[in-house]
Amino acid sequence: MKRLLITLLVLTFVLTACQKVDFQSAPPVFETNIDPSSWTVIPAGPFLQGQFNEQVSIDYDYEIMVTDVTNAQYAEFLNAALADGSAILNNGQIEGYYAGDPFSGTRHEVEIAAGNYIYIPVGDPYLKLNFDGSAFSPKDEWANHPMTMVSWFGAKAYCEYYGWRLPTEMEWEKAARGTDGRPYPWGNEIARNNANYYSSRDPFEDMSRYGSRTTPVGFYNGSTYNGYETINSASPYGVYDMAGNVWQWTANIYDSQHYRYMRGGSKDVYENNLRVWVRNNATPTFTSPGVGFRCVR
């Protein structure tokens, strides 16, 4: 018995043994032919919101970006914002001014007072941007991937810089599911080649080494990439990546809490978190390789 126990324990150790992992290994490069600067109109009218299909209505038309904001787009914004002083480099991070939240002192609530707040951590190895001391540029293979490691402040600043804004949760959800109450942007069921999620086996992930990574924006459009066949997974309004890839910051600021909400699931979570009503939240200064955003106008 002792021998078997030792064998099983050794086997456990061997199977779980350490292996040097290159987290920065280059990803494959694919062109998705989806234009990240394109927008689509979401018409005014009712839709079914939330897990239990509550009938609600948005009484105005609005436009939403067809894809998440890319690294290339965000680098362009940073250069412009640094040039005109609306963003500054301070202590290894890009920061900008925020006018503050109402504060009610509720238990666990943290005050977000007026002041400068982080947009991105410049030195972070997982930021997919280069910085030469004066200008940003996207890392070559990552230019058409969603911008990540960006805080809520950084996302909001990007949208507002161009006269746009972050979507409210309601706007985001309508753009993602249309009006028929579907749980995923493309319909009722999820397959591995519908979206980028944990262990979805896309060409960018290697679960035995570095895990899941972002896919280029608009990747799941029905194209085949080096033999990897995707399903066209746009929402009823033609919006891509509304499930998986990266969580997306939304605009709402709720009473008695400092958390900001994200929607859509990401490359790092299981498929149940890709259902359109699932919410994630974090402090507005939170940055992550699994969090990005898009804008509305």
Partner 1 sequence: MQWIYKRFRFLFSSTKGLILMGIAFAALISALFGMLSGPMADYGIKDVVIRALKMNLDPAEREGRLIVLYHTLAMIVVAVEVYMITDLLKMKDGQRLTINSTITVGYLMVIFGGLPFAYWGHNWAFHGIYIAGLSLIFFAGCMLLVALWPWQKAYQLTDMTYAHTKKGFDMERIAFFAMALTTLISAIFGAIPGSYFGNGFTAFLAENVVREPHKLALDLSVIGHLHIMLALICIAAALIIGRWMDFKGNLHKIAMPLYTAGTIILSMGTWLVVSFEEIAHFIIYGGSTLAMLGALFLVIFSWDKLIRTGLAEKGLKKGNFFQRIAALVRDPLKFGATWQMVFMNFTVSGVGIFTAVKLDEIFRQWQIIDELSILTGHWHILGTLMATILLLYYADLAGLKGKARQWFGWLVIIFSDVAFGAVTIYEMRRLFVIEAEQQPLLNRTTIAGDIGLGVLLLTLAAIMVWRLIDLFKKKGYWANEIEERLTKKDEVAK
By CB under 8 A, residue 169 contacts partner 1: no
Query: Is residue 199 close enough to count as binding partner 1 by CB under 8 A?
Result: yes
Does 25 interact with partner 1 (rule: CB under 8 A)?
A: no
1 binds partner 1 (CB under 8 A): yes
Partners of 8 in the β-ladder: none
CB of 86 to partner 1, least distance (A): 27
Site for partner 1 contains 44 (CB under 8 A): no
CB of 79 to partner 1, least distance (A): 25
Residue with smaller CB distance to partner 1, 11 or 44? 11
256 is a contact residue toward partner 1 (CB under 8 A): yes
- Span 71-110, contacts to partner 1 by CB under 8 A: 106-110
Residues that bind partner 1 (CB under 8 A): 1, 5, 8-9, 11-12, 15-16, 18-19, 21, 23, 51-53, 106-110, 125-126, 183-184, 188-190, 198-199, 207-212, 247, 254-257, 259, 262, 268-273, 275, 280-283, 286, 288-291
